[in-house]
A and B are shown apart, each in its own frame.
Chain A
């Protein structure tokens, strides 16, 4: 297993994740649309990547040696924006402009408008392919950059996801890590009721991935898995992170209806009370 993670580091990650969750609620409430459920489920994974694992620096967002993060489930844009803003990539006041005309915060992530958004995504099944291309590029250029693709589980029904995963395994891309936000729910209901993707970990193994199954809301487990991925040679790593859709907001948890629906004012206030905040953005 990985090294002991200092308690202070874990507490900081927990507190950042809470702030990001509060921002997701504020943003989707202000926008009146968006995807809170899958943003809340992926929050801990993104927090671990952006505040711990990735070799990135807001002062040098274009540094060629940086690690790349591709949010293949581009609808979880609110979570990525909140995390990047908290990390110092752009002003936090901008968060509430999500989905507004003229805003840099597009409904699905756009690499041209914000730093550290490495690929524009949104139509599912394409992010992993782009991540594979980036990993091939880094290897060909002998750059130490590592590439992280964050997938949704509904996206695992898309054939192109498996094309891309097949390529990652075929090319032995040890600089590629795929994280699956396995919250079990998509727009219309449970993945297993709609088009089952299980046994998903076995599928990753069959596609030649070093595969790790974790609780996607446990920072010790996430950090250890990322550490293991970094030390894995000759094959890419897949981290199957079991998560809860809507995590952190009791009335959203496990409800597919919150995939693509924004909270109204009362719901937002209730959610924020549970997350220890108010509609007004707090300062970190």
Chain B
């Protein structure tokens, strides 16, 4: 049984091909302003790696904020359900999932089958989303991938960022920079602020072990480390945290297919 999950987010598009219980291939690409282009490119990239064509796929499920524009998907499932399902596949003991992407952040609770029991979400404000990291990386001219590590290398002391709004925090960070504060000390303040905000979102649904982080933010050690300290739990992170949602979608595709075959 070969299925695929396609996760179209605000900043990246992901596709993953699953054959029975094996991940055959996956792709991760930046979004195109035209969602249909993102869909096509993400799927093509995964198919190419798997040496397959669209016809080889028995069932496709789409998810993410662009999930309605995937023409070859037989079904779409919300990203919250997909992240829980995908996280459960990687870590069967998972009970709390934090998924942070470019434009939103979700704290999800699930049961021992990977089914969602509760969630809280921020999709209104960039201050609690991955986009804030991009804005700061851009401002401080630090590659996004290095930002987390740098935020842990405090030189003098963390520079606290008092503004919530990313637009205001950006001016605040800039004025600290002009006053000669170290970039890493400012980044420490930036990461601390995001981690605090995310932690309070998690507290709204309750935090229970095991705790999985998925989405782009899982690649930011500055956030992961601070969340470890705040929750007192060691977060589990899969080898590619950005495809957890696509994996969940591919797993839903398997379920749908089985149901259809039984019917």
A pairs with B:
no
